[in-house]
């Protein structure tokens, strides 16, 4: 039994206004298009305590900062070995 990947997107006000509002849609579309929804526990979270370097996400406990539309696709591809 493989564990689901824990994918948290910061929805604190700083990250949300700096890009995660849009990133949320990018990630959702990517997961749907690649049939990955059942392999991941994708959820929003409160401030991750790293606002200045935001927007931030956390994948299996690893923090990624300063993400944008391009970086997030790279992170997703790496995470799922695509
Ligand atoms: S709002 Fe995202 S780290 Fe603070």
Give residue-wise pLDDT tens across range 35-55.
999 999 999 999 999 999 999
Number of structural domains in the chain: 1
Model confidence, pTM: 0.93
Q: Decide: 56 in ligand 1 pocket, CB within 6 A.
A: yes
Q: What is the pLDDT of residue 49?
A: 97
Residue 48 CA: nearest ligand 1 atom is: 3
| Residue 54, domain extent | 5-79
Q: Decide: 47 in ligand 1 pocket, CB within 6 A.
A: yes
Q: The sheet that has 5-10: what strands, in order across it? A: 40-45, 5-10, 57-59, 62-64
Check if the beta carbon of residue 65 is closer than 8 Å to that of residue 75.
Answer: no
Q: Give 59's DSSP letter.
A: E
Residue 20 CA: nearest ligand 1 atom is: 2
What is the CATH number for 20?
A: 3.40.30.10
**Which residues of the chain have a pLDDT value below 70?**
1-2
């Amino acid at each position: 039994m493989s564990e689901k990947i824990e994918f948290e997107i910061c929805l604190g006000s700083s990250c949300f206004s700096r890009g995660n509002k849009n990133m949320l849609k990018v990630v959702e579309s990517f997961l749907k298009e690649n049939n990955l929804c059942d392999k991941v526990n994708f959820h929003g979270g409160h401030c991750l305590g790293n606002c200045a370097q935001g927007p931030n996400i956390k994948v299996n406990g690893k923090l990624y900062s300063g993400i944008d539309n391009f970086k997030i696709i790279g992170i997703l591809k790496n995470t799922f070995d695509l």
